[in-house]
Structure 1
Amino acid sequence: MSDTSDTVSFGYEDVRAEEKEERVGAVFSAVARKYDIMNDAMSAGMHRVWKDKFVRRVKPRSHEQILDMAGGTGDIAFRMEEAGARITVSDINQDMLDVGIERAMERGIDTLVWSRQNAEELSFEDRSFDAYTIAFGIRNVTHIDRALAEAHRVLNYGGRFFCLEFSTTEWPGFKEVYDAYSHKLVPKIGQMIAGDAESYRYLIESIRRFPPMPEFEGMIRKAGFRHTKVEPIMGGLVAIHSGWKV
């Protein structure tokens, strides 16, 4: 996609690129205050296990610089901060960042840097970070290829890229059950807990429109990363993607 007049997906709709950014922003502003409660409700708490595993794969180390993109409410940053890493939490949505800042204050964490950023146009200098993480955020980016290129640009040589994202489970039988649950029940849960069915309908639809694991790995390689790897979880319902800048 070469310009902002291109058509991109917003759930099952195809919209203009500039319209997607506005509509995604509205979705996350609407759900920010209930985002973590809804994650628990929708995944039966499993998102916590997935995030713990993700951070173990990242292996944050003391004093290294890490950019946590789409870090919003701080879930990944709080886990990595325990290792002593110097973390910049970035998100395009200020409402999500505000929730994360409040949560950090409640935990007595004052070592994080909070920065509003567009993943496609980061303001950071080349080779600023040792690791780049993004969890459940890249599917909401308007131009994924641009975000991956920016991730590659801001990483040091030897830096690592890690992405946790929903995908398509390949477990026979489970896929059908999950499809029925996500399309029929998740919007109802969103209505009951957050008073917002439509935002959660979009979030489910955005998962369905996200590239399959092999295709997304190919996009990571095309952005310049090497030694790429995909680690499916629950048959591919969720996957950890990784790569290195060499």
Structure 2
Amino acid sequence: MTDQKDSQDQTHFGFEQVKVDEKQDKVADVFHSVASKYDVMNDLMSGGVHRIWKRITIEQSGVRRGHKVLDIAGGTGDLTMRFSRLVGSEGKVVLADINDSMLNVGRDRLMDKGITGNVEFVQANAEALPFPDNTFDCITIAFGLRNVTHKDNALASMARVLKPGGKVMVLEFSKTENPLLTKAYDIYSFSLLPKIGKLIAGDEESYRYLAESIRMHPDQETLKGMMEDAGLVQCKFQNMTGGIVALHTGIKP
């Protein structure tokens, strides 16, 4: 599965077809709505397992003292917080998010924990990252790529600002491997998740979109090919929790 379009000026917003220039605003509205409850909902939606997925991402990043890291769609700062400790005072972590509501929640959260000295907050579109070529040792995007209108542009932009030898890491919901798990996951995603969203965040529609956006995201092999097309090498993926989530990695030659 690739980015599905009926025509050059149409793209998908969940299962709905919308004009390309409308998707970004629609996605923004979703995250403005869910920002304040985002962490609570992550724990509820995944049963806390998202913390394990993120920990594995950190462990496989190879990030060490003095590195420069870009955390795209960094939201409330889960990965940024951990990277900040790894890079130390000699390093730097940029938490980037296109949505100012999410960025503000992340900034407040990290400041409350005293994490400010080596962290920078930047409102940025993943498709046109505002950084010089060859800037970062590692770039992560966790549960954000599926919301990007032109994923190929975003991957190319990441490759451009990555240093040679640096690593791009895409942690994202993906395609399950077992038919029974897929059926159970569908029931959860389309029946229970919107109701949880309504109960906890007061927003059923946004969580229905989030469930639909997962189904519209490219499968593991397709995303691997897109990373290769962006100029990355040694691209591979690791399925977690039966393929509910996959961690894709690629290196800049």
Q: TM-score range by the shorter chain?
A: over 0.9
Pick one of 166, 190, 208 that aligns with 1:201.
Answer: 208
1:164 matched to 2:167? The reply is no
In the other structure, the counterpart of 2:11 is 8
Pick one of 26, 41, 46 that aligns with 2:44.
Answer: 41
1:108 matched to 2:89? The reply is no
Q: Would the aligned equivalents of 1:62 and 1:86 in 2 still touch at CA under 8 Å?
A: no
| Structure 1, unpaired ranges of 5+ | none
Q: Distance in 2 between matches of 1:62 and 1:6?
A: 45
1:5 CA displacement: 5.7
Q: Which amino acid aligns with 1:54?
A: T
In the other structure, the counterpart of 1:187 is 194
Give me the TM-score of the superposition, normalised by structure 1: 0.97
In the other structure, the counterpart of 2:232 is 225
Q: Which moved more, 1:17-26 or 1:170-179?
A: 170-179
Pick one of 127, 137, 140 that aligns with 2:144.
Answer: 137
Deviations 1:155-206 (A, max 9, x none): 1111111010000111241111111011100000000000000000000000
1:25 matched to 2:31? The reply is no
Q: Which amino acid aligns with 2:207?
A: Y
What is the correspondence of 1:70-85 to structure 2 with a 5 Å cutoff?
70-84=73-87, 85=91
What is the correspondence of 1:48-67 to structure 2 with a 5 Å cutoff?
48-67=51-70
Alignment root-mean-square deviation, CA? 1.4
Pick one of 88, 93, 99 that aligns with 2:99.
Answer: 93
Q: Would the aligned equivalents of 1:226 and 1:243 in 2 still touch at CA under 8 Å?
A: yes
| Structure 2, unpaired ranges of 5+ | none
Paired residue total = 245
Q: Would the aligned equivalents of 1:5 and 1:18 in 2 still touch at CA under 8 Å?
A: no
Q: Distance in 1 between matches of 2:141 and 2:65?
A: 19
- The alignment partner of 1:41 has SS state of helix
Pick one of 170, 184, 189 that aligns with 1:177.
Answer: 184
Percent pairwise identity: 48
Q: Distance in 2 between matches of 1:108 and 1:23?
A: 33
Q: Which amino acid aligns with 2:65?
A: S
What is the correspondence of 1:145-164 to structure 2 with a 5 Å cutoff?
145-164=152-171
Q: Which amino acid aligns with 2:85?
A: E
